[in-house]
Amino acid sequence: MTHKIPLNHPRASSLIIREKLIDGFNRGIVVPQGLIAHGRGEAFDYLLGEKTTKYAYNAEKVAVCILLLSDKSTISINGNTAALGAKDLVKLSYVTKSRIEVNLFHRSVARSNAIARILRKEGSHEVLGVHTKAKSIIYGISSNRKFVDKEGIMDSDTVLVALEDGDRTESLVSMGKKVISVDLNPLSRTAIASNVTIIDNIMRAIPNMIRLSEQLVKKQKSYLQSLIKNFDNKENIRNSLLIIKKGI
């Protein structure tokens, strides 16, 4: 870490997250814009009380059910997610049998490779979306996020995206895919367009999802299906907004 944060500092956990991103930036994983994006997320997190709300936990549970029931699922990784939780994201990919794909807004071969190296170091056997593999195009997206791997995002029925606000979710949903998003901003386009929106910090959401996967994988398929059926994403977003309102 760039600066050592005293653990008894009242804002220690928030400061540690910042340091992880600065570290990622210094290693060429996070773009400068990622530091700004973090600031926006941090503001929402502050208003949410910096804890997983019961609505976020419910969304995490339903998201895990969808991942476990999917034929093919892919976890999309960008610079910020790699810097904040590569190890947990790799673990989640194993417990939910999902693939991992690097997909960047500020795309460059050097960054893709650096992120893939981290994911491999954390135990991922196959990282998609790197080298010349991300050649399939999702039409309707103007950013570089349109370049996806045929064997990953393109071929999946479920995609987990995190820390992005853009048009990709809308396009993926219109292609008939289920999109799970992790986004602290309940008003972002990604949050609104997703099938399941997890309004939680990725640092809490992914460890929760790993634990939930380990429990839910032992349950009957019909139980997982009933949790999905009873979930109302719009209602869940509204409830999270009420918590934010209360925070204000």
Helices 32-47 and 79-95, packing angle to 10 deg:
70
Q: Which stretch binds ligand PTJ (CB under 6 A): 5-13, 76-84, 123-131, 225-233?
A: 76-84
Residue choice 24, 79, 129, 152 for contact with ligand PTJ (CB under 6 A): 79
Please give the Cα distance from 159 to 100 (Å, whole number): 10
User: Binding of ligand PTJ at residue 41 (CB under 6 A)?
Assistant: yes
Closest CA to 203 of 26, 13, 49, 25: 13
Helical (H) or strand (E) element with 24: helix 12-26
3-state DSSP assignment of residue 245: helix
User: Binding of ligand PTJ at residue 195 (CB under 6 A)?
Assistant: no
Whose Cβ is closer to ligand PTJ: residue 69's or residue 114's? 114
Please count the residues of this chain forming the interface with ligand PTJ, following the rule CB under 6 A.
26
Residue choice 182, 209, 212, 237 for contact with ligand PTJ (CB under 6 A): 182
User: Binding of ligand PTJ at residue 201 (CB under 6 A)?
Assistant: yes
Q: Tell me the two tokens of residue 97.
A: 């049998």
Contacts with 226 (C-beta within 8 Å, 6 or more apart), sequence order: none
Query: Which residues bind to ligand PTJ, rule: CB under 6 A?
Result: 31, 33-34, 37-38, 40-41, 44, 78-80, 84, 104-106, 163-165, 182-185, 188, 201-203
